[in-house]
Chain A
Amino acid sequence: MTRIFVPADSAARSVGADEVVAALAALLPDATIVRNGSRGLLWLEPLVEIETADGRIAYGPIQPADVPGLARALGGDGSHPRRLGSIDDHPWLASQERLTFARVGVIDPLDRDDFTAHGGLAGLRASLGMDGGEVVAAVTASGLRGRGGAGFPAGLKWDTVRKAEGPRKFVCVNADEGDSGTFADRMLMEGDPFTLLEGMTIAGLAVGAAEGLVYVRSEYPDAIATLQRAIDIARDAGWLGADVLGSGRPFDVMVRVGAGSYVCGEETAMLESLEGKRGVVRAKPPLPAISGLFGLPTLISNVLTIAAVPFVLERGPEAYAAFGTGRSLGTQVFQLGGNVRQGGIVETGFGITLADLVHGYGAGTLSGRPVRAVQVGGPLGSYLPADALDVPMDYEALAAAGGMLGHGGVVVFDDTVDMAEQARFAMEFCAEESCGKCTPCRIGSTRGVEVIDRILAGDHPEANRILLIDLCEVMRDGSLCAMGGLTPQPVLSAIERFGEDFDRSGHDDR
């Protein structure tokens, strides 16, 4: 019985994967159709894979109208204009270093036997033979840093929570992946949710927490549903619950759903939201590691950070630290989006250049026009001009180049982009999403929109440009969290590197 894989990933579904499945099921009633995650070659979705003696042979993109021809091809020698050959040998995939995403797109996300057959639970089992301090030491030695944006050493945070005193402790995973251009958390939760649960369990047992919460944004209904089902399955299997894998130690996970607020991706706003309140940022200190959810010690971690942990425990910290460069060790799950021909997931060691991502993996723009700007690290990240893409993608090198890695999102723009509009949007977005607690962010963002409008209207443009830069400094230095503190990055980078877009005098009569 032939096995056919068609992703249930929401990106694949957005371009017709469900309709392809319906067409395949009607024409090939004897085939078993597995809804896997996406391999991350998103421009090829819906990507259909057929299990053969020569491995999984991929066809893509396949639309419902292509299915009759595909069915005929499968009945014959398999040749088809959309045939891509063995997916594992596809150069886009074969050249990557997939540690965190090793199983995404390969397995049935909710088949626990498939998960364990592909190495699942090995990290957790290894950790059960160690005491908490040893697990923390392994995470520290791996060099793993927080993938949410700040790049804080994970082991140091784990150690702080482990040593914190409290009647209860929590592990809170931040899956409020609101940065435009990022979708790796979503794809992992949809494509390999057990890995996230495994990483959380390792973390919880190591730091002494019995309760885990995953805060998932409401824009991700498929991820929420998949994760919820994975939790139920893991409980039934004894992977979660009062007696994790027969260890006698408890750990359980619950999902909490966000309600449409970008700032709730900031860790303290997320804690407020988890407590059921308005998502207003807290002042730090106290650190959440000491006084977090309900005032108790809380390990807050990004999805990708936690999902890297099973590999570290299974293969050892040295194996993880063998990837990457300098102080940015391991792999980063880069996400290529925007105006890019080949968008998707590129997991590889830190140090790959932005040019390799944009021009190599990305193959340039979707429109075919020249690349003009690349925004790295989400809506709060800088815009880099096309001639500055030789920067290596690691925390320090990118910071030195005036950029920010953020959550690893890379958004490509072609030469039709109006960078003054993008700068204005950054301020507008901040005004819309600011939690309102601190003045520079709450008021500065609205003033920022107004000042940019005046510059573009030709109203004392030079004086207003200086005012805008001054405003950006106040927001950067005076805001309570990264929302107001980093909004100046896209604005200032647009002014500094694309200043000509702010001068409307030559081609605008306003």
Chain B
Amino acid sequence: MSRAVAPWSIEAAQRVLAQVDEPGPVLVALQSLQSQFGYVHADAVALVAERLNVSRADVYGVLTFYSDLRTTPAAEVEVRICLGEACQAVGARALLADAREQLAPDDDVSRVFCMGNCALGPTAVVNGRLLGRASVASVRAAVDGRPT
């Protein structure tokens, strides 16, 4: 997965929003902004509200409801450990604890619920790359860009 994102600017955001042409567009608009800039800048709320003719409160509500949408740039390294029941059954809680303890402090390690890899858990996602039968070693290798 490419993690290259464009720097935020009002003009660039307006170009992204001009492309949004779908029914029920608020969520799509925010997703488009996030995929362009890596996050949704605070100033985007007013832009989206203006462009789609909805209230800022509506936009803010959507922005803060969905866990995918973020209002700050992502960390360089994003590690997600699945804590769905199927992954818990094969040690995901320990993997999450170990990853938090052993990876670099700047690495963003958090939990998610189910990546649909329930027969090959525990499952981790490292910068968008799905790892089955994950261990701290395989997570660290993926962080370093080495073969797992």
A425 interface hit (Cβ, 8 Å): yes
B139 interface hit (Cβ, 8 Å): no
Residues of B within 8 A of A276 (CB): 23-29, 62
The answer to whether B118 and A219 have CB atoms under 8 Å apart is: no
Contact for B113 among A180, A337, A375, CB less than 8 A: A180
A309 to B123, CA, bound (A): 32
Contact for B132 among A11, A221, A254, A259, CB less than 8 A: A11
Contact for A412 among B25, B83, B89, CB less than 8 A: B89
Stretch binding the partner chain, chosen from A198-206, A244-252, A338-346, A440-448: A338-346
Number of interface residues of A (CB under 8 A): 64
Contact for B133 among A15, A179, A182, A262, CB less than 8 A: A15
Near B by CB (< 8 A), chain A positions 361-392 give: 366-367, 375, 379
A177 to B27, CA, bound (A): 19
The answer to whether A14 and B120 have CB atoms under 8 Å apart is: yes
Chain A 20-44 interface mask (CB, 8 Å, partner B; 1/0): 0000000000000000000000110
Residues of A within 8 A of B29 (CB): 276
Contact for B114 among A42, A219, A375, CB less than 8 A: A219
The answer to whether B130 and A13 have CB atoms under 8 Å apart is: yes
The answer to whether B114 and A180 have CB atoms under 8 Å apart is: yes
Number of interface residues of B (CB under 8 A): 45
Residues of B within 8 A of A411 (CB): 85-86, 89, 118
Residues of A within 8 A of B123 (CB): 14
Contact for B65 among A219, A279, A338, CB less than 8 A: A279
Shortest Cβ distance from B83 into chain A, in angstroms? 8
A278 to B69, CA, bound (A): 12
Residues of A within 8 A of B147 (CB): 19, 64
Residues of A within 8 A of B112 (CB): 219, 260
Residues in A lying within 8 Å of B, measured CB to CB: 10-11, 13-16, 19, 42-43, 45, 64, 177-183, 185-186, 218-221, 254, 256-262, 273-280, 294, 335-340, 343-344, 366-367, 375, 379, 409, 411-414, 417, 422, 425, 429, 432-433
Q: Which 4 residue pairs of A and B lie closest in terms of their CB atoms, listed nearest first?
A: A343-B119, A180-B84, A337-B118, A14-B132
Given contacts A259-B69, A417-B89, A432-B113, 6 further A-B pairs with CB under 8 A are: A14-B120, A42-B119, A183-B119, A276-B29, A411-B86, A422-B88
